[in-house]
Amino acid sequence: MSYKLFIPGPIAVSEKTLRAMAQPMIGHRSPDFVALYQSIQPTLQKLFYTRDPVYLSTSSAWGVMEGSLRNVVQKKVLNCMNGAFSDKWHDVAQRCGKAAGALKFDWGQPVDPEAVRRELSTGDYDAITFIHNETSTGTMSDIIALMAVVREFPDVISIVDTVSSFSVLPIKKDELGIDILLTGSQKALALPPGLAIFSVSERARQRATRATDRGYYFDLLEFQKNHENGMTPSTPVIPLIYALKSKLEDIEAEGIAARYTRHVRLNHTVRDWGFAKGFKLFPDPAFGSISLNCFANTRQVDLSALNKVLKSKHGLVIDGGYGKLKGQTFRISNMGDETDATMAELLLALDRSLLELNV
């Protein structure tokens, strides 16, 4: 059974990427691995807009999301919550035994910088988490405005999730003063799942030195120590690193600016299609994501029936709503390698499937 995913993660992986993974294994302490690791640093640093090292974690994004808390939160963390992933981050902080404040917004609303300022002004916090692009609701917060507020509080270490927005648009880590910027392999980068990629500021590492319970697997200082030798703390998922190298070559070949433009264009193509069909965006339209569209199911389409037709007749799959939004929203990804042609193919198949359902 072969079909193509247009859900917002994991997303479709190209044949080229799959082939890149199928290379012979090398020892993770060998000069060959060091060469591989070091060869991808320059492009990674370019995409992170950083001079800090970029680490590779053999885990999904959650590993680094949890690990970051364990490394830097000593007083209290402020969790900005506006969707399924950011809500869960608060739960994870509590499970790690951290004092945590919940700054809640309705799903579909962005994180409000003024509310962040009010909360951080209490002086209670030494860290903040937020998600740039809440994939569950297709909501993209204003990262520039948020970081301008966070920078007013020099004791607060920022941990920012860009799992579904990294490489979709410029996110300038150093310029914005982001301490820990993280992403995962299976969303915007169009790689298979299993690798998290993150960059950490010097001051976040300084903070980590004072944490006595940072554990081992996600210890930022272990990542740094090994990075200095072109390696990772434990045996990494080498096939995914081959895939990452191949993907970075693709990105360089397309041109980073062209990649950003493509994502905006494809996103609007899908949005316009949805509007023409009589659907509305679920999030506040001023904060609609540019890596996916989350539509409100304003026409009460039977989404599981729609996906059944789409999959069986056209070999394509979209998402029928995340968590509590199941059935009420649907999401279409335009991340990764999608082109005008592949999006047009999906929209045509959707048209035909809707017709078949008489909607």
Ligand X SMILES: *Cc1c(COP(=O)(O)O)cnc(C)c1O
Among 21, 47, 61, 301, which residue sits at the site for ligand X (rule: CB under 6 A)? 61
Taking the complex as a whole, the smallest distance from the CB of residue 45 to ligand X amounts, in Å, to 22
Using the rule CB under 6 A, give the single segment among 60-68, 110-118, 208-216, 336-344 that binds ligand X. 60-68
Closer residue to ligand X (CB): 62 or 260:
62
Q: Does 49 bind ligand X (CB under 6 A)?
A: no
Number of residues that bind ligand X (CB under 6 A): 13
Using the rule CB under 6 A, give the single segment among 58-66, 208-216, 274-282, 290-298 that binds ligand X. 58-66
Q: At what angle do helices 220-227 and 202-209 cross, to 10 degrees?
A: 120
Closer residue to ligand X (CB): 196 or 349:
196
Q: Does 289 bind ligand X (CB under 6 A)?
A: no
Q: Does 84 bind ligand X (CB under 6 A)?
A: no
Please report, to the nearest 10 degrees, the dihedral formed by the alpha carbons of residues 352, 353, 357, 359 taken in order. Answer: -60
Q: Which residues contact 311 (CB under 8 A, 6 or more apart)?
A: 3, 317
Using the rule CB under 6 A, give the single segment among 71-79, 142-150, 161-169, 172-180 that binds ligand X. 161-169
Supply 25's token pair: 């294994």
**CB 101 within 8 Å of CB 78:** yes
Closer residue to ligand X (CB): 186 or 353:
186
Among 37, 48, 85, 198, which residue sits at the site for ligand X (rule: CB under 6 A)? 85
Among 52, 112, 126, 161, which residue sits at the site for ligand X (rule: CB under 6 A)? 161
Strand partners, 330: 295
Using the rule CB under 6 A, give the single segment among 55-63, 91-99, 255-263, 307-315 that binds ligand X. 55-63
Taking the complex as a whole, the smallest distance from the CB of residue 268 to ligand X amounts, in Å, to 21
**CB 140 within 8 Å of CB 288:** yes
Residue with tokens 């009010």: 118
Q: Name the amino acid, one letter, at 50.
A: T
Taking the complex as a whole, the smallest distance from the CB of residue 59 to ligand X amounts, in Å, to 7
Strand partners, 104: 81
Taking the complex as a whole, the smallest distance from the CB of residue 184 to ligand X amounts, in Å, to 4
DSSP H helical segments within 156-219, as ranges? 173-176, 202-209
Among 12, 163, 168, 349, which residue sits at the site for ligand X (rule: CB under 6 A)? 163
Per-position x/- string for 176-195, each x denoting binding to ligand X as judged by CB under 6 A, each - no binding: --------x--x-----x--
Closer residue to ligand X (CB): 184 or 309:
184
Closer residue to ligand X (CB): 64 or 349:
64
Half-sphere exposure of residue 56, counting CA atoms within 13 Å on the CB side? 32
Supply 40's token pair: 């991808």
Give the three-state DSSP class for 234.
coil
Q: Could you give the CA distance from residue 299 to residue 29 in angstroms, rounded to a whole number?
A: 56
The H or E element that residue 41 is part of is helix 31-48
Fill in the DSSP letter of residue 283: S
Among 6, 7, 9, 350, which residue sits at the site for ligand X (rule: CB under 6 A)? 9
Q: Burial letters for 13-44: b for 16+ Cβ neighbours within 10 Å, e otherwise?
A: bbeebeebbeeeebebeeeebeebbeebeebb
Q: Which residues contact 170 (CB under 8 A, 6 or more apart)?
A: 49, 260
Taking the complex as a whole, the smallest distance from the CB of residue 89 to ligand X amounts, in Å, to 8
Q: Looking only at residues 117 through 136 of this chain, which bind ligand X when binding is defined by CB under 6 A?
A: 131, 135
Contact set with ligand X (CB under 6 A): 9, 60-62, 85, 131, 135, 161, 163-164, 184, 187, 193
